[in-house]
Amino acid sequence: MHDAGPSIHRRALLAAAGLTLFATSAPPAQAAPAQPEPEPEARDEPTVLIYTGTTGYRHAGAIDGGIGPIQKALDEAGIASVREDCDGLGGAPGNCDHPDANPRVFTPDNLARYDAIFLFNASSQWLGGGRPGPLWDDEQRAAIRGFVNAGGGIAANHNAVDMGAGATTWDWWDGGPGSAVGTLMTGHAATDLNNVATVRVADRHHPSTRHLPREFGFGDEHYNFARSVRGEAHVLATLDEESYDPGPNAMGKDHPISWYKRYDGGRIWVTGMGHFAESYTENGGDNNLVKHLVGGISWAAGASGPGQCTKDSTGRPSSRP
């Protein structure tokens, strides 16, 4: 099976814009019939917004170390990417509320350029760190929701799955059951690269897990969640808590760490993995974490590719993007 093709979301929006223009433009009196303006050329490759904005805890090492390997792997996969970044509030250049940052990025017109958003360790608030928040205002949140409603995808990892340090920051995104993420991070294992967990891949048909071994060791700041998302999302990988020290709020035998689902008209893919810079740079970027992330981003962008059959949230094969 294969997906309907890359850039469907962007092309649909561009086509709609062209049709509206043609329908509302009338030729001048006694003039030759006006020709419709050509549609903007649609690129064949999908395009992804990589967003690393933070107003809470900033995983600077992971962001700075990971952005290169991720963009290189996306490029090799035929996926174009644009990185946008900001840190904090206050109106200064580089801050998230500066006109050149979020107010420019999170608009319907700008988001229509992309097939997916990758929230790469983005954060919204840090309960104990005295930093400002939230990350997006109401207009920017509406633009994000509209993007997903129109068929866009969001991939998110680690801090972006826990934007509020264990607290809900936005009901639509991380509000628990029924939200995009579907649960909250209530605690995590020790922040120790040597605390190596066995990751068990539950579904090797998905683009984000197809190139992973069935089991592999992974050292991380392993997240524990308030509840399993099983039954509401399709679980891709789990952690074996007997293989490492899970710390407080251990989940027990059912500990999903990566999953995906159709949500609010679009696609959501998330993983709790990705705290340490070394996990991205290992083996020159050719490693399990980068493969996992790039596959998830690819799926969120509707770019799984010909012959790459995925499964829907029930586990049944699906050829939909």
Residue 26, both tokens: 């009338």
Most confident of 25-39, 173-187, 256-270: 256-270
Q: Is residue 295 scored above 70 in pLDDT?
A: yes
φ, ψ dihedrals at 266, nearest 5°? -130, -155
Query: Do the Cβ atoms of 277 and 61 come closer than 8 Å?
Result: yes
pLDDT at 304: 66
**Sign (positive or negative) of CA dihedral 33, 36, 38, 44:** negative
Listed in sequence order, the DSSP H helices in the chain are 8-24, 60-76, 102-105, 108-111, 138-149, 171-174, 277-281, 288-300
Whole-number percent of the chain with pLDDT over 90: 72
Query: Do the Cβ atoms of 121 and 52 come closer than 8 Å?
Result: yes
pLDDT at 311: 39
Other CB atoms within a 10 A radius of the CB of residue 107 amount to 16
* Mean pLDDT in residue range 177-200: 94
Q: Is residue 217 scored above 70 in pLDDT?
A: yes
Q: Among the listed ranges 143-157, 221-235, 262-276, 293-307, which one has the minimum average pLDDT value? A: 293-307
Question: pLDDT tens-digit profile of 88-141?
Answer: 999 999 999 999 999 999 999 999 999 999 999 999 988 777 788 899 999 999
Domain limits, the chain: 45-184+260-318
CA-closest candidate to residue 198, choices 250, 237, 243, 235? 243
pLDDT at 164: 86
**pTM given for the model:** 0.83
* Mean pLDDT in residue range 197-209: 97
Question: Which CATH number fits the domain 45-184+260-318, given the four candidates 2.60.120.1570, 3.40.50.2300, 3.90.1300.10, 3.30.70.890?
Answer: 3.40.50.2300
Q: Among the listed ranges 98-107, 119-128, 163-172, 303-312, which one has the minimum average pLDDT value? A: 303-312
**Sign (positive or negative) of CA dihedral 139, 145, 148, 153:** positive
Query: Do the Cβ atoms of 248 and 224 come closer than 8 Å?
Result: yes
* Mean pLDDT in residue range 81-88: 97
Question: pLDDT tens-digit profile of 31-66?
Answer: 444 444 333 344 468 999 999 999 999 999 999 999
Cis ω for the linkage preceding 134 (within 30 of 0): yes
pLDDT at 125: 86
Query: Do the Cβ atoms of 124 and 140 come closer than 8 Å?
Result: no
The DSSP bridge pattern shows strands 153-157 and 116-120 to be parallel
Q: For the chain, give the mean pLDDT.
A: 85
- Looking at the DSSP bridge assignments, the partners of residue 49 are 82, 117
The DSSP bridge pattern shows strands 80-84 and 266-271 to be unpaired
* Mean pLDDT in residue range 154-181: 92
Q: Among the listed ranges 82-91, 103-112, 154-163, 303-312, which one has the minimum average pLDDT value? A: 303-312
The DSSP bridge pattern shows strands 80-84 and 47-51 to be parallel
**Sign (positive or negative) of CA dihedral 98, 170, 172, 252:** positive
CA-closest candidate to residue 293, choices 174, 176, 208? 208
